Every structure is written in C-alpha cells, then in structure tokens.
Amino acid sequence: MTPPPETLEFKAELKQLLHLITHSLYSDREIFLRELISNASDAINKVKFNSLADEAGLEDNKDWKIVLAPDAEAKTLTLRDNGVGMSREEVIDNLGTIAKSGTKAFLDAVKAKQSNDVPGLIGQFGVGFYSAFMVADKVTVHTRTKGGPRVGVKWASDGQGAYTLEAAEKADRGTDVTLHLKDDALDFLNEWKLRGVVKKFSDFIEHPVELVTVTPAEEAEGDEPATPATTKQETINSRKAIWLRAKNEVTPEEYAEFYKSIAHDYTAPAKTLHFSIEGKSEFRALLFLPAKKPMNFDYEEQKAGLKLYVQRVLIMENCEEVLPPYLRFVKGVIDSADLPLNVSRELLQQNPHLDTIRKNVVRNILSGLDGLKNTEFEKYVAFYRGLGPVLKEGLARDWENKEKIADLLLFEHAAGESGEFTTLADYAEKMPAGQDQIYYLAGENADQLRHSPYLEAFRAKGFDVLLLTDSIDEFTLPHLTDYKGKKLQAADRGEVKSTDGDIAPEVQVGYAGLLTAIKGQLPEVTDVRLTRRLTESAACLVVDGGMSAHMERILKRAGQGGEAEGGHRVLELNPDNPAVVALKELHAKAPDDARLPVYARLMYEQAVIAEGSRIADPAAFAKRVNTLIAESVK
C-alpha cells in the first residue's frame, strides 16, 4: 500500500527567496524555460558522465532528449528529460532546502540594496528551477533515479509555504516538471511561442529539445471523412554551436550564414575570428568584423556586447562587460563553462575571469583588424569608411590599447589623390629630413582642405599633412598627443617657421602701424601679426590655444556655439601678398583713409571663408565687395 503524501514546510528564508525570485529578480518571464531546459541538460550530462564508470541501470534509455509537452486543455506545460533523476533525499535537499547556506545573508543584502542592484547568489542548485513560479501557480516534479524499483518521487508545491512528497510509480529514469500555468501565462502553450523562446535561449543546447504538438480530430463534414487526432514530436533547436567545432571543420559559408543570423546583415563578414583560450580561464569565442557599416547602424541604438553563453545556454543577449563600446560593430558569441553567474543569470559578477575574457577579446579584435588592413587593404578601407569614426572612440576610452588603435587609423592626406588613404606609420616613414612633427588639418571634406591656405607653407617645405574629416576627430585625436615619439600638431594652430627664416625685423617695423590699425578695427580677433604660414594667400585665422574653427562649427551645429564663427583667433597676414603690401602703402600715406576699415574687414572675412566658416553678415560682405569692384573700374 502506497503511503499518503507527506506535507513539509518551507523554511522562512526560502519563502522570502521564492517571493523575491518570482517578483523581483527576473526581468523576462521567458527565462523560466531557459532555466528548466538548462537543468534538464545538466541532468542528462550527469547521467552520461556517471555511466562511463557504471552503465548498470541505464536500461535502453539512452536516447538523450528534452521534451516539451504543452496541454491546452489542462493548461499545463510539461518538460521531460531522461537524465540522472533524483531520490527522495535529493528532492528534499535540492528542491525543499534551498536556503541551507548563505541565503539568509543574501536576503539581508537585498534589503540593503536597490531592487535593480541584486547581489549574487552562486551555486545554489534549484534557484533557476523556482523561476517556474513566475508563470505557474503550481509545479509538480516527478522523478526517478536509474536502477532499482520503478517507484519514483513526486514533489508538488504552489510556491507559498509548503510542498508535498509522495512515492509515485514512474516507468523511466529522469524527471518530469509540470507547470500549471497562470491565466496570464497561457501563451506559453502556444507552439510558436515555445519555438521562439527555445530558439532565443536554448538553440545550441547539446541535446535535442523536442516539442510535442497535437492536431485535434475533425468530425466528418459532407463528403469529407472524419480525421483522428494526431501527435507529432520534432526537434526545435538547431544544436549547431559552430563555435565549439574546430575551425577546419567549419566552412566559410557556414560562418557567413551564422553571422547573418546574429547580426541581421545581408552581406558576409569581412573577417571571422574563431579562437579559444585555455588555462586558468577558459572560453571559446566566435567573432565577426562587418564588411561595412550596417544599414541600421546610425538609426538604431547600437548596444556594445556579445552574446554570452554558458555551456551553450544563452545568458545575456548583449554582454557589455566583454566588449568596449568603441568595438560595438563586432558581433559574435562567447561561451564560458566556468563563468560565475548571479541568481538570475542576468547580471555578471565583476571578477578576474571576466576581465581576462575582455582583454583577450579586445586583443584578438584589434589584431584581426590589423591583419585585415595589412593583407586585404581595400576590404579594410570599405570597412573603415563607415566604421572608422566608431573605432576612433577608443583613443579616448582605451588607454591600454591606444597605440594599437592608432596603427589602425586611416587618413586622406594633402599629398595624395582624392580618396587615397595613408596610415600614421606610412606618414612617419615618409617624413622628409627636417620634419619632426606629424601635421594634420581638420575640416568638412578632404578636397576642400587640400585648397586651404593653411597648407601653403607645408607644401612649400615638402611636408605632407593629414586631412581629418570625421567630426569625432576633434574630440578623440587630442588624446593621441604623439605617435612613436613624433608629436601631432594641428596645421592651423601656433606659428609656423619658414625655411627662409623668420620675418626680418625691418619688415616687422614696416608693418607695425598697419597691424595696430587693423587690430583696432577687428574686435573679433585677439591679435594681428605677420606670418610665413602663407605663400600665396593674403590672410588666414589661426588658434593659439583655444577652440579650433572646425570644433566651433561642430558645436554650433549642435546648438552650443555662438552667434558667429571665426572669432577670438589670431589674424595672420602674408607680408609678400600684393593686397597686403598695398594696404601697408595706403596706411603709410593716409592712416585716416576711410577705406582702411573696409579693407581690414574684408581681409578678416576672406580669412573666415577660407577656413570653411561662415561670416556673420554675408549681405554686408557682398556690399563691400561690390563697392570695391565699382571703385576699381572707375
């Protein structure tokens, strides 16, 4: 005679923990299915491992599988496995005494923290199992170990204050978990809902996850005969975790298809990085570098992170802890078997193992980009045109790898053709004798910069100038103060010395009066001086220690600039330019000539235009030019 069910009380701490798990720790109710499938997979792995030493009791039950059986009429979802199963004592220990070590302290810590900052509770078997109570108001577990009589143990609870235990015959080894679903969770009986959740979280579980579907019977209608109900059971997970396979066993086509499926891209990746790290910290990685910037990259929020798996089970969709934001274009997966997880498996603990993963991932990505640049330059250029600005963020964010990132940068340059790129290494190698700095100029586009007056002196010396056209350059390049011992210097900042020497003292004296007069007419500038920066143009504006013209324009477009551009800089004049010489002669003859303020203003405005900025009053500028034309043809 079978004894009646025995009722046992949960401990006080377990009641609190169940409430916490059900209402606080999990942000996504779907996770319950991931947890149950993961537990079932662990149970199968355990019995397989044990059978290596002793196959007794396995009988013929070696067709390893996990079965999902929804029952719409009963409103239940059953998950079956043919794993190791549990004895009565193990059921009590694992499902009824979860609070045996550390849980009290865990609960005390929860009370002291915010609800979204939950401390970790690691290694407590059964915690994930209790996530079932998020969707079920009753859970039944029917389990049996291998060998011995065919009498198993049935555990049942509503997750409130107690659970029942009873002996119950079970034909096969393994565990059946039956969830009596809540009314607001009946969508988990839907075939396509279950397929989607398994695809999302458990697609790469080693063992097949099979779904039972029932097609109801149909009564005879007209000439159509009646059809009986049919039951179908099919595997719904792919089980193809290609990152666990050897690289020589995976074809380029398989890599490309996997990349497209996780990146939602329609083109093959530019490069695939498939590697594993062994030793104190072990993990496998499969990463992809896109061929170009994805279409939705600028229009959708791009979360940095990789898919994080633990023994093929998806733990995080975007694990930010293993991928810095400036590499957010990289897609792929990390699979670590020994990564510590907290109670919900949704937040990772900060630990040395995680730091090791991050460092290895970053090192392999930067190395992969460098390899692509060195071996397939045109392919790298296509990648860089769209995603180079994102990569440049690393100059400001990743000091440890700043030099490696610098080696990956591409620039158009004044000595090159339109669309031609060079690297910092190539630039430094080609620097002529006498050049001890790397010069650059930032602006809207490279073709416009090639005609900038700022380049005249450098061109005369035979010095090349890097042309920076990404808005982010003004924010990130200052973090790269030098490259391999050579200082980076903006071509529109500071004074430039000529190969012909400094401006002669007598020339300085000859222009002193004019420079003072012009400065008095232009409150926008901080100084007016002669320069050897120009060989053809009459004037330009330079910065001696403030915001560059390009930065000023960027901020103004962002609504943070002033009313006018081109202010608070130094106006430099070319003493050899005919227009400047004419102004000096006019000032020497008639210092009070009414035309001098007009010409001074024109000199300043042409410098504003030449640097790519906008003058404050275009209409007044046009009027001054038209007046000058009219007077010149009299």
**By CB neighbour count within 10 A (0-12 exposed, 13-18 middle, 19+ buried), where does 616 fall?**
middle
Two tokens, residue 130: 């209790």
Contact status, residue 325 vs residue 6, Cβ threshold 8 Å? no
- Given this model, what pLDDT does residue 26 score? 55
pLDDT of 123 reads: 29
d(CA 480, CA 574): 32
Q: Of 18-32, 377-391, 489-503, 550-564, which gets the smallest average pLDDT?
A: 550-564
Give 343's pLDDT tier (boundaries 50, 70, 90): very low
Beta-bridge partners for 157: 139, 163
Residues paired with 151 in a beta bridge: 169
Task: Give the confidence band of 106 by pLDDT, cuts at 50, 70, 90.
Answer: very low
More confident residue, 13 or 504: 504
Q: Which of 437, 323, 339, 275 is nearest to 123 (CA)?
A: 339
Q: What is the mean pLDDT of residues 563-571?
A: 64
Q: What's the pLDDT at 375? A: 96
Long-range contacts of 62-66 (CB under 8 A, 24+ apart): 64/207, 64/208, 65/207, 65/208, 65/209, 65/210, 66/37, 66/40, 66/41, 66/205, 66/207, 66/208, 66/209, 66/210
Q: CA-CA distance, 596 to 594, in Å (whole number)?
A: 6
Q: In which band, very low, low, confident or very high, does the pLDDT at 73 lie, cut at 50, 70 and 90?
A: very high
For the chain, percent of residues with pLDDT exceeding 90: 51
Mean pLDDT of the chain: 84
3-state helix, strand, coil in the chain (%, to 5): 40, 20, 40
Q: Please list the residues that pair with 439 across neighbouring strands.
A: 489
**Which residues lie below 8 Å from residue 244, measured CB to CB, with a gap of 6+?**
284, 312, 335
Give tens-digit pLDDT for 415-434.
999 999 999 999 999 999 98
Distance separating alpha carbons of residues 212 and 189, to the nearest angstrom = 11
Choose between 17 and 394: higher pLDDT. 394
Q: What is the rounded average pLDDT of the residues 598-604?
A: 94
- For residues 95-119, give the mean pLDDT: 48
pLDDT band at 2 (very low <50, low <70, confident <90, very high): low
CB atoms closer than 10 angstroms to residue 196: 13
Cα(442)–Cα(474) distance, integer angstroms: 8
**What integer is the mean pLDDT of 105-113?**
49
Domains and CATH numbers, the chain: 6-219+227-235 (3.30.565.10), 242-372 (3.30.230.80), 410-490 (3.40.50.11260), 505-632 (1.20.120.790)
Task: Tell me the pLDDT tens digit for each residue of 435-494.
Answer: 999 999 998 889 989 999 999 989 989 999 999 999 899 889 889 999 999 999 998 887
Angle at 437 between CA 436 and CA 440, to 5 degrees: 155
Query: DSSP of 216-228, one letter per residue?
Result: PPB--BTTBPPB-
Q: In what order do the strands lie in the sheet with 525-530?
A: 525-530, 569-573, 539-542
Most confident of 41-45, 112-116, 130-134, 583-587: 583-587
Q: Where are the beta strands (DSSP E) in 191-347?
A: 209-215, 230-235, 271-277, 283-289, 306-310, 313-319, 331-335
Structure tokens given for 300: 């959708």
Alpha-carbon 259 to chain mean position: 16
Whether 180 shows a pLDDT value over 90: the answer reads yes
CA 240 to chain centre: 25
pLDDT at residue 561, as a whole number: 58
Average pLDDT over residues 563-569: 56
Residue 98 and residue 121: Cα distance in Å, rounded? 11
Res 68: pLDDT = 97
CA distance 355 to 322: 7
Answer for the pair 602, 535: CB distance below 8 angstroms, yes or no: no
Residue 118 has pLDDT above 50, yes or no: no
Angle between helices 12-20 and 103-112 (to 10 degrees): 50
Q: How confident is the model at residue 195 (pLDDT cuts 50, 70, 90)?
A: very high
Q: Could you report the per-residue pLDDT of 24-66, keeping only the tens digit for each?
A: 555 578 888 988 998 898 889 888 877 766 666 566 677 899 9
Least confident range of 120-134, 481-495, 508-522, 581-595: 120-134
346 pLDDT band (50/70/90 cuts)? very low
Q: Which residues, including other chains, have CB under 8 Å from residue 285's CB and lie 6 or more apart?
A: 243, 273, 274, 275, 276, 277, 306, 332, 333, 334, 335, 360, 361, 364
- DSSP secondary-structure letter at 622? H
Residue type, 34: R
